[in-house]
Structure 1
Amino acid sequence: MATSTTRRLAIFLGLALVMGVTRFHPSLLHHALWDASWGVFFLAGFWLRGQGRWAFPLLMAEAVLVDYLVISGQGVDFWSHYCVSPAYWFLVPSYGALWLGGSWLAQRQQGLGLRTLALAAGALLVAEGVCYLVSNGSFYWISASVPAPRSFGAWLGNLGDWYLPFLAGTAVYVALGALLHVLATQLAHAAPRGSHARH
């Protein structure tokens, strides 16, 4: 998606704001909004393809910063929190899979249509699946928060418990992003016709 520098920056700031608000979970939003991080990284890969050298690291830094602020705000040492372990750093390849899924879609989509919708659904399922396997698997097998003994069967059970909620939450945000994309595309196509009609 070809965009100007200003538009890219606006897209980045919008996505960063959505991730920050939903990841932070202040008291008014607690349990009211699903964390949009996974959807944000997929959409960022789509809308900011080719800008990964700066956009991806900045979004990752924001995610870690928000986690740090939330955990520290609870009076808990960041490194001793249940969710923080060596597995925490596997969020980089996890979110990277979402970014790559969005970028892959951006390279292959051909405007609005059923083919693009099918590609989007496939790309999201694969990218979200890889993200989930890496993040959940690293936490289960590496984190000290998971009590021993560990087993492949127990891990599969854990995967099954959380997969659909994570997929549904991600899909909702990506669907909202897709709606915005459709509206913006339609407005962009309508604007030249409207300007010609005035002449």
Structure 2
Amino acid sequence: MNTTLQRAIVLSLLMLLMTATRTHYFTHFTPVPDASWAVFFIGGFYLRAWTRWAFPLLMALAVTVDWFVISGQGISFWSHYCVSPAYWFLIPAHLAMWMGGLWLRRHYTGASLPALGRLAASLLVATTLCHLLAQGSFYWISSSVAEPTLAGWWKNYSDWFPLYLGSTAMFVAVAAIAQVASEQVAKHAQGAAQDRRQH
């Protein structure tokens, strides 16, 4: 399978995953949590060469899904409490996840314990920064919090962070397992081909 086709498949799967789960952010009706943050992290890892247009495409998809979900509830998109000036901080927030995946890809040479450590570190840093931008901007800029305080912000940040980190890590773990499995299949196929040539 050529690289372009592989990237196209990954991008299609990421778009489907985000479309299927992002409604959870507004409705909480989906059986699985929002995978958006994981989608951008995984996208950064697999779609590095397509960053210039794949990242904007996924951002446009995120906004489109939000618009359809909000409008479907009979609410004007611009009057929804989540769509304040802070909403546009989702762009740098999601970019933080993408950059985490990019960094991991630059330092990835194959499945190993050090690679697992780098995965954990990059995911933690990216999610921490993403949550800081998304939650922090909503807390301080939107009108949803009447009297913002540093203590109130920290409680809100720390209360929600484990949930977001856990759900993001769950999706990334599935992608990591798939990556390791594909490497093992490729290694086995290469070994079998070498054996055939030798005999």
- Interval containing the TM-score (normalised by the shorter chain): over 0.9
Q: What residue is the counterpart of 1:133 in the other structure?
A: 132
Cα separation, 2, equivalents of 1:195 and 1:118: 32
8 Å Cα contact 2:21-2:30 kept in structure 1: no
Q: CA deviation at 1:184?
A: 1.2
Matched residue type, 2:100: G
Q: What residue is the counterpart of 1:163 in the other structure?
A: 161
8 Å Cα contact 2:18-2:35 kept in structure 1: yes
Matches within 5 A, 1:59-98: 59-98=58-97
Is 1:16 equivalent to 2:20 in the alignment? no
Q: What residue is the counterpart of 1:192 in the other structure?
A: 190
Cα separation, 2, equivalents of 1:136 and 1:118: 26
Matched residue type, 1:121: A
Cα separation, 1, equivalents of 2:173 and 2:143: 36
SS in 2 for 1:30: coil
Aligned pairs, how many? 193
Unpaired stretches in structure 2, ≥5 consecutive residues: none
Q: What residue is the counterpart of 1:102 in the other structure?
A: 101
Q: What residue is the counterpart of 1:174 in the other structure?
A: 172
Is 1:183 equivalent to 2:181 in the alignment? yes
SS in 2 for 1:40: helix
Matched residue type, 2:161: Y
Q: CA deviation at 1:24?
A: 2.8
SS in 1 for 2:135: helix
Q: Detail structure 1 runs of 4+ shifted over 2 Å in the superposition.
A: 192-199
Cα separation, 2, equivalents of 1:31 and 1:5: 32
Q: State the percentage of identical aligned residues.
A: 48
8 Å Cα contact 2:86-2:137 kept in structure 1: yes
Cα separation, 1, equivalents of 2:61 and 2:121: 28
Unpaired stretches in structure 1, ≥5 consecutive residues: none
Q: CA deviation at 1:186?
A: 1.2
Matched residue type, 2:78: W
SS in 2 for 1:51: helix
Q: Which moved more, 1:49-58 or 1:67-76?
A: 49-58
* CA deviations over 1:140-159 (Å, ceiling 9, x no partner): 01001222x21111101111
* CA deviations over 1:117-147 (Å, ceiling 9, x no partner): 0000000000000000010000001001222
Matched residue type, 2:18: M
SS in 2 for 1:83: coil
SS in 2 for 1:44: helix
Q: What residue is the counterpart of 1:58 in the other structure?
A: 57
Q: What residue is the counterpart of 1:113 in the other structure?
A: 112
Cα separation, 1, equivalents of 2:103 and 2:164: 21
Q: CA deviation at 1:196?
A: 4.3
Q: CA deviation at 1:197?
A: 4.4
Is 1:153 equivalent to 2:177 in the alignment? no
Matched residue type, 1:93: P
